[in-house]
Structure formats: C-alpha cells, structure tokens
C-alpha cells in the first residue's frame, strides 16, 4: 500500500520544501527580454508619477485640501501595489526567475490584497469628497476637516490590513500537493488556495465574504454617490455650471473604472471561468495591478488644472 503512495507522491509538493512556479506570457519565453522593456517603463512611470504627485501635494500648501489629500493617499497605495508586484514580474522577464517560496508567496498575497482593498477604500473616500462638494457645498469645509480626513484614511487602510491578515495563515495551514504552476506572475489568494490538497471551503467563503463586504460594498456606495451627484447637478439651472460640476468628477470616474472593471472581471474568471482563455486571465491580471498605478497620476495631472500648473512650475524651475 505504501509503494504506490510513494510513487504517486514524487510530484507532490510538501509544505516545508514547496515552491510555486510563476507564469509569464505562455509561448513567449524567447521574447521575455523584449517583453520586460514595457514592464520596466510602466513601473518607472508608476513610481515616478506617484512620487511626483506626493511631492507636489506635500510641498504646496495650496494643495492641502481634501481632494488632494485623498489623492495623495491613493498615490501611496499605488506605490505600494507597484512595489508589491515588481520583484516577481520583472524577475520572470529579466532573469527567467519563476520560483517563489511559499512564505514569500503568502507575503505577496497579503500585500497585494490588503493594498487592493485600500485602493478600493480610497476611491470610495474620493467619491464621498465629490458627493459633499457638489451636493452639500456649504458644509464641505466643516464636514471634511483635516483631522477627520486623517481618521477616515487610517480606518479604511486598517480595514484592508485587518481583513486580509488572516489569509496567509489560512493558506499556511495547507499542504500543497497539486501542480504548483500559478497562472500569473505574482501570487493571488484565489489561485494559491486551489493548489492545496485539503478542503478549501473556509478560504473560499472567507475570500468571497471579504470581497463582497469591501469591493462590492465600496462599488455600490460609489455608484449611489454618483446617482446623487447626477440628481443634484441636473437640478442646477445653468448648463455651464452643470458641466463644470461634472468635470470635477471625470478624473475620479476614470480611476474607478480602471480599478473596478479588471478587479471584478478577474474575480469572476477565477471563481467561475474554468473554460475561459488562459491568456485573457493573464492579461486581465496585468491590467488589474499595473494599469491603475500607471494611469492614475497621469489622469489626475491632466485633468486637475491646479495640480498640472504646480507640476509644470516645479519642472520648469
């Protein structure tokens, strides 16, 4: 009885010695060095762009307003997401380094998911900022005071950390004896738990519950805030004032779409899309984590007149 078990366990991965193999773009192994160029550029633009946003907002007192403080919180989160995924993604394409230890993988799961929840929270807070500014402008300064903004940012950041904190420990209790090849260039909870040879019901229910209570609830509240904003704007008599009010929301709407569309799409594919294209899953994974940190500073710099003017002034000097 033991011999067949031993023979069948040759390819099994035991917990203490296991590694996962990360995946780049299948069939493009010979072009990894060339593929690394756009990834390096994306990371460079993300890190420089978000760092510039933070520097400008910190050093310019005229930008110490709620909207820009929330934007600086978003920039910090985007920097964290870029740093969390950069080592494994660039490791694959620059050095063909596919192996990642279990502990490193679990740590990456924690940082990616906690920062993703924080990003969702920051977008919700920014929606609240726009809601108050347009629907209740006379009380804007009294509602969004600096101490209150700091408390809101801290509470929502802690929400992400606290909810994701159990996940690495839930993964660590498993033994991993299935095929150890992951579909992405980084570790995600939905995928890592499928590598376990144990019952993953608890992980699956917990992961889904956290998603619904955070990303699901945040997206619903953002939607409702924009329903109220549109209702208020349409009641304004002047079309010019109407357009001006909506124009202040364009940057935030772009950020919301850039984050929630791939986030929800990837969650659906991981849970229900077994027959979906493997390549689509990989590409959507890159869009989910790389595009928002890349595009957010660009969109806000282009759309915000004050921010754009300060950036131009700094670089011209």
**Residues sharing a CB contact under 8 Å with residue 293, sequence separation 6 or more, in sequence order:** 46, 50, 78, 79, 81, 82
Alpha helix stretches (DSSP H) within the chain: 2-8, 32-59, 66-95, 102-135, 140-143, 146-164, 166-172, 189-192, 201-211, 217-234, 239-247, 250-272, 278-303, 305-316
**Model pLDDT for residues 12-71, shown as the tens digit of each residue:** 444 444 788 998 888 787 888 899 999 999 999 999 999 999 999 999 888 899 999 999
What does the pLDDT read at residue 160? 94
Class of domain 23-316: mainly alpha
* Burial (Cβ within 10 Å: 0-12, 13-18, ≥19) of residue 249: buried
Can you give the residue ranges of every domain in the chain?
Answer: 23-316
β-partners of residue 6 are none
pLDDT band of 209, cuts 50, 70, 90: very high
pLDDT: which is higher, 182 or 28: 182
pTM value is: 0.89
In this predicted structure, the answer to whether residue 211 has a pLDDT above a threshold of 80 is yes
Distance from C-alpha of 93 to C-alpha of 30, rounded to nearest angstrom: 10
Least confident of 5-19, 104-118, 222-236: 5-19
In this predicted structure, the answer to whether residue 84 has a pLDDT above a threshold of 50 is yes
What does the pLDDT read at residue 277? 67
**Residues sharing a CB contact under 8 Å with residue 48, sequence separation 6 or more, in sequence order:** none
Residue 176 dihedral angles phi and psi, to the nearest 5°:
-110, 105
In this predicted structure, the answer to whether residue 245 has a pLDDT above a threshold of 70 is yes
Mean pLDDT of the chain: 87
Question: Rounded to whole angstroms, what are the CA distances from 281 to 26, 236, 259, 276?
Answer: 12, 44, 16, 8
Sign of the CA dihedral running 131, 118, 78, 116? negative
């Amino acid at each position: 009885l033991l011999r067949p078990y031993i023979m069948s366990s040759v390819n099994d991965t035991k917990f203490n010695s296991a590694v996962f193999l990360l995946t780049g773009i299948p069939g493009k192994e010979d072009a990894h060095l060339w593929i690394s160029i756009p990834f390096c550029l994306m990371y460079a633009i993300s890190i420089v762009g978000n760092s510039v946003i933070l520097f400008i907002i910190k050093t310019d007192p005229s930008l110490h307003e709620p909207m820009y403080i929330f934007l600086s919180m978003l920039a910090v989160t985007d920097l964290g997401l870029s740093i969390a995924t950069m080592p494994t993604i660039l490791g694959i394409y620059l050095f063909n380094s596919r192996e990642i230890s279990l502990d490193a993988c679990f740590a990456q799961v924690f940082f990616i998911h906690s920062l993703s929840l924080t990003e969702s929270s920051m977008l919700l807070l920014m929606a609240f900022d726009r809601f108050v500014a347009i629907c209740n402008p006379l009380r804007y300064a009294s509602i969004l005071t600096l101490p209150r903004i700091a408390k809101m940012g801290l509470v929502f950041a802690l929400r992400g950390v606290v909810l994701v904190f159990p996940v690495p420990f839930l993964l660590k209790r498993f033994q991993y004896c299935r095929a150890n090849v992951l579909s992405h260039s980084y570790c995600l909870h939905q995928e890592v738990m499928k590598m376990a040879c144990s019952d993953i019901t608890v992980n699956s229910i917990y992961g889904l519950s956290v998603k619904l209570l955070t990303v699901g609830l945040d997206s619903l509240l953002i939607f409702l805030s924009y329903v109220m904003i549109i209702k208020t704007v349409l009641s304004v008599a002047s079309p010019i004032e109407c357009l001006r009010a909506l124009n202040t929301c364009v940057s935030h709407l772009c950020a919301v779409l850039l984050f929630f569309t791939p986030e929800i799409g990837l969650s659906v594919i991981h849970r229900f899309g077994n027959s979906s294209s493997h390549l689509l899953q990989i590409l959507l994974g890159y869009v989910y984590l790389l595009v928002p940190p890349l595009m957010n500073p660009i969109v806000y710099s282009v759309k915000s007149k004050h921010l754009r003017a300060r950036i131009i002034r700094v670089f011209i000097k």
